[in-house]
Structure 1
């Protein structure tokens, strides 16, 4: 029995993803004001300097990103919202199509906006790109949003309002608001998807209930808002760089006792997904088991922080 347990533990260590290494070049960003000379990013551990950080992971998004950015900036600079200070961090996740160059062109169209372009030296995966952007965000609140524009950016205000009820600005109380598509399950947006995708969706939710994340109806919506104190506790403890990282974030929040508000949002499927559903599903099962066992054994354990005003 001891040998069996030792073998299982060894396999767990071997299958667990290695620590995510941040290279020196990735600690800097380029912008419209400094397109050639990279400037240093500000760590998440520092005090907040803007109201909102928008983190956009981007892998080969030269076509979809400009449309999404136009909608994002149109909302953030609209009359009712423009008193909210913000920055946008585009994390180019090792793209091969010139996403960083395209991002700088977008920044040039909006010279008054603080748009920062970070280029990772190699592709980490969506989770790794989001984590990197969050670890260098300067916002009192930090939003992760997909580059495809599937989520309606104006729904940020619903997430913002839900977080106000959990963690008023300046309170330092950790909280998370997550966009949810659960209300769309019986609508055409989901019904018209392929049978395979729908079967995998229900199977995925079944696995989540077994692993203890069934309290959130939609874990995978790429539209999530974090208070700064929540981000400071969760993202340094994130290990998964793959697309299933959202579940790890929510499990960490549960372990830390951080409240999560689930908010219905508008969503539409955008052509151009790079996800292979079969491969991704197998990877999902493996990664979820790895996360849960590492948590149970105490190998991966988040470190709570004393709440700070932000």
Structure 2
């Protein structure tokens, strides 16, 4: 076999390999999710039966804080978390801070939306908006939906299980004041990294801790190794940051936080990691083995799409009146 034949054969193998990998990437990459008409509305204590249209992240802020709560079959754990949030936000020291809670029922089958509305009716002085997705979109999809329709000058998303201490919002708020005094695009990340050697983490299963350390190693390769805890469900965004990040979020599974932080890094936003209190709450929907494998797959898909330029970051702030759905206006 001469050299030219060997060269052409090698090039052919490389070409076939590239095409195969690219086709696999197209298959594995999540398609943009279009919001249904009913999902662009909410119910509240003021309008429990007649749904009202949601606002847009591209509008000017009309409250100081939006709290987005993604919830999937959370009738057991969510009430305590909501009560803790209301107790804190209703403190006299915070009476000048206007807020809204946007509870996004992610296609639950246990009456989560109805329970959230019942809770709202019991707190008529609080602005609690209940949104229901017709089909499960994943935690990342529910967070993204709530963020795209939040009215806050700052927007927090928090897990419905109440594992994070809600009062620690003030720690994130203080750091946001420091890194973005003029409400520039910035993110304050609640972190459990300081708890690694405490009982809160040590008591978790050996398998879960092994997977945690493995994930951290992969994250360093992906490009967000500067954040020690990417997965804590307690993150605060300035409105400018939310406007430039969430319309370009693609992942809706457990690892969506990594994409948010990678986008923030690519956009050169200020990001600060803030230690918070946290405790494990039973009833997690996470399957340690299968979801860890899915996280690995999604991380590879994320990195490949960014390297190939298929997924792009926002070139500039969005214009008022439009919301882009993974690059497509809706």
Whether the 8 Å CA contact 1:56–1:147 is kept in 2: the answer is: yes
Shift of 1:21: 1.4
Equivalent in the alignment of 1:152: 165
Match of 2:73 among 42, 60, 69: 60
Shift of 1:68: 0.6
Q: Are 2:226 and 1:215 aligned?
A: yes
Runs of at least 4 residues off by over 2 Å? 304-308
Match of 2:304 among 288, 293, 296: 293
**2:93 is paired with a residue of what secondary structure?**
coil
Shift of 1:61: 0.4
1:21-40 correspondence runs (5 A): 21-40=34-53
Cα RMSD (Å) of the superposition?
1.1
Equivalent in the alignment of 2:322: none
For residues 186 and 304 of structure 1, the distance between their equivalents in structure 2, rounded to whole angstroms, comes to 41
For residues 305 and 106 of structure 2, the distance between their equivalents in structure 1, rounded to whole angstroms, comes to 26
Shift of 1:72: 0.2
Q: Are 2:315 and 1:304 aligned?
A: yes
**2:23 is paired with a residue of what secondary structure?**
helix
For residues 179 and 194 of structure 2, the distance between their equivalents in structure 1, rounded to whole angstroms, comes to 22
Equivalent in the alignment of 2:109: 96
1:107-256 correspondence runs (5 A): 107-168=120-181, 171-256=182-267
Whether the 8 Å CA contact 2:190–2:274 is kept in 1: the answer is: yes
For residues 183 and 160 of structure 2, the distance between their equivalents in structure 1, rounded to whole angstroms, comes to 29
Instruction: Determine which structure has more spread, i.e. the larger CA radius of gyration.
Output: 2
Shift of 1:149: 0.3
Shift of 1:3: 2.2
Equivalent in the alignment of 2:326: none
Whether the 8 Å CA contact 1:42–1:137 is kept in 2: the answer is: yes
Shift of 1:8: 1.1
Deviations 1:160-203 (A, max 9, x none): 000001112xx241000000000000001111111001110101
Q: Are 2:89 and 1:76 aligned?
A: yes
Q: Are 2:27 and 1:14 aligned?
A: yes
Whether the 8 Å CA contact 2:243–2:318 is kept in 1: the answer is: no
For residues 68 and 173 of structure 1, the distance between their equivalents in structure 2, rounded to whole angstroms, comes to 29
The total of aligned residue pairs comes to 306
**1:48 is paired with a residue of what secondary structure?**
coil
Whether the 8 Å CA contact 2:113–2:132 is kept in 1: the answer is: yes
Whether the 8 Å CA contact 2:191–2:229 is kept in 1: the answer is: yes
Deviations 1:23-57 (A, max 9, x none): 11000000111111100000100100000000000
Q: Are 2:60 and 1:47 aligned?
A: yes
Equivalent in the alignment of 2:7: none
* Superposition TM-score, scaled by structure 2 size: 0.91
Whether the 8 Å CA contact 2:42–2:129 is kept in 1: the answer is: yes
Shift of 1:248: 0.5
Whether the 8 Å CA contact 2:105–2:112 is kept in 1: the answer is: yes
**1:60 is paired with a residue of what secondary structure?**
coil
**1:80 is paired with a residue of what secondary structure?**
helix
Whether the 8 Å CA contact 2:244–2:318 is kept in 1: the answer is: no
- Name stretches of at least 5 consecutive residues in structure 2 with no aligned partner: 1-13, 320-330
